[in-house]
């Protein structure tokens, strides 16, 4: 088990045991519900979101999306302990929706420059 503790200036210490960066790629229609869900979760200190475009899976694209070759999506990045991922995804499925693609990366470092 890997434990990373980071303390930077006036920011509180952040500890990750087997930390992971969970990336959620969602339909824009789910955005408000997802933000409400994430803000209500204990253990999620914050997250980053941005607009992205998905390419591929042409069978599920609208005619306009097929012509442009892309689908507008929203992407969220959340740092959390790896053992919290399954519960977050279960709640996401139940409380937000299922038009979600996700993946995760091991989190090996985190810090703030001050």
Question: Helices 31-39 and 85-95 meet at what angle, rounded to 10?
Answer: 130
- Calculate mean pLDDT across residues 2-10: 44
d(CA 80, CA 21): 7
- Calculate mean pLDDT across residues 14-20: 69
- The yes-or-no verdict on residue 36 having pLDDT over 50 is yes
46-103, pLDDT tens digit by residue? 899 999 988 776 567 677 767 677 788 999 999 998 889 999 999 999 999 998 999 9
Determine the pLDDT at residue 58: 59
Length of the chain: 114
Determine the pLDDT at residue 59: 62
**Residue 18: closest CA among 98, 83, 101, 112:** 83
**Domains of the chain and any CATH numbers:** 18-106 (3.30.70.120)
């Amino acid at each position: 088990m890997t434990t990373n503790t980071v303390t930077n200036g006036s920011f509180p210490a952040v500890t990750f045991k087997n930390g992971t960066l969970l990336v959620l790629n969602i339909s824009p229609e789910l955005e408000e519900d997802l933000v409400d869900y994430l803000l209500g979760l204990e253990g999620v200190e914050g997250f980053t979101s941005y607009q992205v475009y998905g390419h591929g899976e042409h069978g599920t694209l609208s005619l306009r999306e097929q012509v442009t070759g892309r689908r507008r999506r929203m992407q969220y990045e959340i740092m959390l302990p790896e053992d919290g991922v399954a519960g977050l995804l279960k709640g996401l499925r139940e409380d937000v929706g299922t038009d979600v693609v996700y993946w995760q990366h091991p989190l090996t470092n985190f810090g703030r420059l001050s």
